[in-house]
Amino acid sequence: MDLAVASDTVARWQFGITTVYHYLFVPLTIALAAITAALETWYVRTGKEKYFHATKFWGKLFLINMALGVATGIVQEFQFGMNWSQYSRFVGDVFGAPLAMEALIAFFFESTFIGLWIFGWDRLPKKLHCACMWMVALGTILSAYFILAANSWMQHPVGYSINPATGKAQLNSITDVLFQSTTIVVVLHTLTAAFLTGAALVVGISSYHLWKSRQKQERGEQVDRKLVASMRTSLRVGLALAVVAGIGVAFTGDNLAKVMFKQQPMKMASAEALWNSETPAPFSIFAIGDVNEGRNSVELTVPGLLSFLADGNFTSTVPGINNIAASEAAKYGGKPSDYIPNIFVTFWGFRLMIGIGMTSFAAGAAGLWLTRRKRWLSPQYRTGDDEVPRLMLTRDRELGGFLTKWGWRCGMLTMGFPLVANSFGWIFTEMGRQPWAVFGLMKTSSAVSPNVSVTMQCIALGVFVLLYSVLAVVEVKLMVRYAKAGPVTSEQPPAQDPTLRGPGPGSGGADEDIDKPLAFAY
């Protein structure tokens, strides 16, 4: 028995570590694919060099990042069978379907069209090349959709029945699984958060280059105006996206919380450290819980606010941890304490997710105002498209030197914030579901592979921790190197639009064409 407990603990650590790690790359991949596609679209439409440079630059960072996202994604698919075979047997009929659809529809899209995009600069007509990136972006979004539908089924199982002969879950409505409220809201929340993540990265790196250029300018050194132009555009795109996505995250988050109060009241009660049912329920700003006593020893609350967040009404009842635990124990057997997740993790995970994520939104909103369009500024403060913008508080008041420095620094410092918020979000939602693997149907402790020894689990965990650490160092160094290098502004957009048939007669000497180097090679 002790051994079984240990093995599911180790398997959970492996799942947690590999998933949080994988999810550092996923949101950046989703957002950067769409951002790169949008920039390339502007390039194709306007022919402007700054869009070309920006496309190439963000595309490169996208690829460095996507490589690890793809690589670590393979682990995710194998892991269910390797460590969670009992789970896989029980849910395969339902859970396997969205996974298989993800591979058949989304993965093939992403992987095939990214190959065309990377190597196709001199092979595909501009418009087709750009369309390939949109296909990649679509693939990343579809992929998120299917895997979140699968996850939502674990959070709130629908569209299934338990086969009396085998005791296993059996799918009876694919539309319920793909379109249930949990799936829809979770997908919107996750996607908007992903765009906020990408936006923060774009803002951070653009801020770095613009601030460096500004400093150079002040020292009287030569500034690369083409770099400034493409980074200035990128900055504005990033800021605008951060604001739109940030508002989206907040709205969908509020919706998701309301859905969760109905579907998994324990998760939300534990997010709020609300021990006992209250009418109306207060929102907890700060609490130190005493799990043994089932109450908070210290807390600071806003009366009625939780009722409003849960139900849109300041006076409704919100069920508490102790009450829900007692009723779950009565329903499923065991002690009430078996049904209480780790309150410290859920309470603080929830708060950090919101706090850190919204900081990026605030930075975006502030930045969008400070770098606003020319016509909202007095003429003497206006800057050209290839100049570093001034940070303008009002029509004719610029931030002082110190504040300007910190304004740009804020953009850089909040670059990774959403990544942290995303991680806390996932840790919260997965740990808040415990002790269940599939809510109400299968406990995590009975989901693990019975024939994989604890030693084996530990070895696998060690292998992944080691491998992932090394790769983290490699990837961060590469990202920093390429981010710092900035767009290669000496690169010119191709003079002639390539044709699918290859270079035709009369487009230069035949021998030259045959031996022309590839536009891109590994």
- The residues in 154-213 that bind another protein, with binding defined as CB under 8 A, are 163, 168, 170-172, 174
**Which two tokens mark 265?**
């009241």
428 binds another protein (CB under 8 A): no
477-506 positions binding another protein, by CB under 8 A = 478, 481-482, 500, 502
| Total residues binding another protein (CB under 8 A) | 77
Give the number of residues written for the chain: 522
The Cα angle at residue 415 between residues 413 and 418, in degrees rounded to 5:
120
Q: How far apart are the first and last CA of the chain?
A: 52
Query: Contact between 118 and another protein (CB under 8 A)?
Result: yes
Is 140 or 359 the residue whose CB approaches another protein more closely? 140
Which listed residue (114, 196, 210, 415) binds another protein by CB under 8 A? 114
Q: Which parts of 273-332 interact with another protein (CB under 8 A)?
A: none
- Choice from 44, 64, 259, 324 touching another protein (CB under 8 A): 64
Q: What distance in Å separates the CA atoms of residue 347 and residue 453, rounded to the nearest whole number? A: 33
Q: Min. distance of Cβ 449 from another protein in angstroms?
A: 4
Closer residue to another protein, CB minimum distance, 113 or 424 = 113
Q: Residue 215 and residue 174: Cα distance in Å, rounded?
A: 57
Stretch that binds another protein, among 49-57, 211-219, 321-329, 446-454 (CB under 8 A): 446-454
- CB neighbour class for 315 (10 Å; exposed up to 12, middle 13-18, buried from 19): exposed
15 binds another protein (CB under 8 A): no
Neighbours of 189 (CB within 10 A): 24
Within 68-87, the residues that bind another protein by CB under 8 A are 68, 70-72, 74-75, 77-78, 80-83, 85-86
Q: Which residues contact 404 (CB under 8 A, 6 or more apart)?
A: 390, 391, 398
CB of residue 157 to another protein, shortest distance in Å: 14
Give 75 or 228: the residue with its C-beta nearer to another protein: 75
* One-letter amino acid for residue 146 of the chain: F
What are the E-state strand segments in 238-387?
283-290, 295-302
Per the CB < 8 A criterion, the answer to whether 38 and 199 are in contact is no
| Amino acid in the structure at residue 480 | V
Q: Among residues 111 and 279, whose Cβ is nearest to another protein?
A: 111
Binding mask 120-149 for another protein (x = CB under 8 A): x--xx-------------------------
Per CB under 8 A, 91 contacts another protein:
yes
157 near 188, Cβ under 8 Å? no
